[in-house]
Amino acid sequence: MLPAPTTRLRFREMTPADLDDMADLLGDPQVMEFYPATKSRDDAARWIAWNQDNYAAHGFGLWIIETHAGQFVGDCGLTWQDVNGVPMLEVGYHVRATFHGQGFATEAAAACRDFARAALDAAELVAIIHPDNIASERVAQKIGMTRRADDHGGAIAVRTVMGMTL
């Protein structure tokens, strides 16, 4: 199952055929500004494999988001993440730098929120965000999240946990 298409975007599972686009996305210093480092082509291949494992295990993961004409926009979707030792359902999003600021992440994240509400048995949805990543925090706010806690478990010392009841 996939989130419903939105006005401008559709979702599909990522496959190894997406490696060029995913390596460009995750290798872009602007997109990875708030991550410990950019990702290599091998990292991007592992990212795709991780999501394919998630589709098989859970029925969801990060999906490719593309325009209705098939133009690659980025990825967005749902994963289980450890927040201070507790597994939590997270919505995540990465948008190609050339498409930033056009509302694509908000549109995709809202569709994932609605998918989680309709199809999954989860009480809460979170977004785990670097404290300086204002654009990401804004997307979380715009889909209805508020600041919940700090996460101390990841590679980044403290991350903001935004969340909402589903």
Ligand X SMILES: CC(C)(COP(=O)(O)OP(=O)(O)OC[C@H]1O[C@@H](n2cnc3c(N)ncnc32)[C@H](O)[C@@H]1OP(=O)(O)O)[C@@H](O)C(=O)NCCC(=O)NCCS
Closer to ligand X by CB, 12 or 138: give it. 138
Name the minimum Å distance from CB 63 to ligand X: 14
Beta-sheet pairing, 159-165 with 124-129: antiparallel
Q: Which of 12-20, 116-124, 130-138, 150-158 is the region at the interface with ligand X (rule: CB under 6 A)?
A: 130-138
Kindly report the CA angle at 133 between 107 and 123, in degrees rounded to 5? 55
105 lies in the binding site for ligand X (CB under 6 A): yes
79 lies in the binding site for ligand X (CB under 6 A): no
Name the minimum Å distance from CB 136 to ligand X: 4
Q: Please pick, from the candidates 2, 45, 135, 166, the single residue that binds ligand X as defined by CB under 6 A.
A: 135
Under 8 Å between Cβ of 131 and 113: no
93 lies in the binding site for ligand X (CB under 6 A): yes
Under 8 Å between Cβ of 12 and 66: yes
Q: Which of 8-16, 117-125, 126-134, 144-152 is the region at the interface with ligand X (rule: CB under 6 A)?
A: 126-134
Q: Which of 1-9, 10-18, 45-53, 100-108 is the region at the interface with ligand X (rule: CB under 6 A)?
A: 100-108
Q: Please pick, from the candidates 70, 85, 87, 101, the single residue that binds ligand X as defined by CB under 6 A.
A: 101
106 lies in the binding site for ligand X (CB under 6 A): yes
Residues forming contacts to ligand X in the complex (CB under 6 A) are 31, 34, 93-95, 100-106, 129, 133-136, 138-139
